[in-house]
Amino acid sequence: MKEKMTGKRILCIEDETEMIDLIRLILGRRGYEVLGANGGREGIEMVRSEKPDLVLLDLMMPDMDGWEVYQQMKSDESTRHIPVIVVTAKAQSIDRVLGLHIAKVDDYIAKPFNPQELLASIENVLQRRSE
């Protein structure tokens, strides 16, 4: 069975290059183009220059944390519409509530994650956005 090529561009903002490589491996098989940004500062620059279809965002990064990146994205007219899935090891239920209900991220995935869970989340979010 041949996977359909989506052609969607996903930006992974993450300070661990191994995690970016892993996500690129998982999503590349599904036809997603995965761009990697090493940390928050590079991430927000790439969001603005690349305008990806979706952002996977780590919260805990040394240079600029994920919430700061998210706030900057949402306050910019040109990037406000881009869906964001938080992918983080910071997965206490309070963080999840903050993320989903207060900050209004599109989804919240705890590390370590199951590849199927990540794919399902991305597909759901992109589908909701296209409706």
| CATH code of the domain containing 107 | 3.40.50.2300
What lies within 8 Å, CB to CB, of 72 at 6+ separation is: 44
For residue 94, tell me if it sits in a domain. yes
Per-residue pLDDT tens, the chain, 131 aa: give them. Answer: 344 456 899 999 999 999 999 999 999 999 999 999 999 999 999 999 999 999 999 988 999 999 899 999 999 999 999 999 999 886 666 666 676 666 788 998 988 899 999 999 999 999 998 88
CB atoms < 10 A from the CB of 35, how many? 18
Q: Cα–Cα distance between 101 and 114 in angstroms, integer?
A: 23
In a domain, 22, yes or no: yes
Q: What pLDDT does 110 receive?
A: 87
Residue 1 within any structural domain of the chain? no
Distance CA 22, CA 70 (A): 22
Please state the pTM of the whole predicted model: 0.89
| Residues 35, 14: Cα–Cα separation, whole Å | 11
Instruction: Confirm if 13 and 55 have CB atoms less than 8 A apart.
Output: yes
Domain count of the fold of the chain: 1
| CB 74 within 8 Å of CB 80 | yes
- Give the per-residue pLDDT at 2: 41
SS3 content of the chain, % helix, strand, coil (to 5): 45, 20, 35
Hey, what amino acid is at 93?
Answer: S
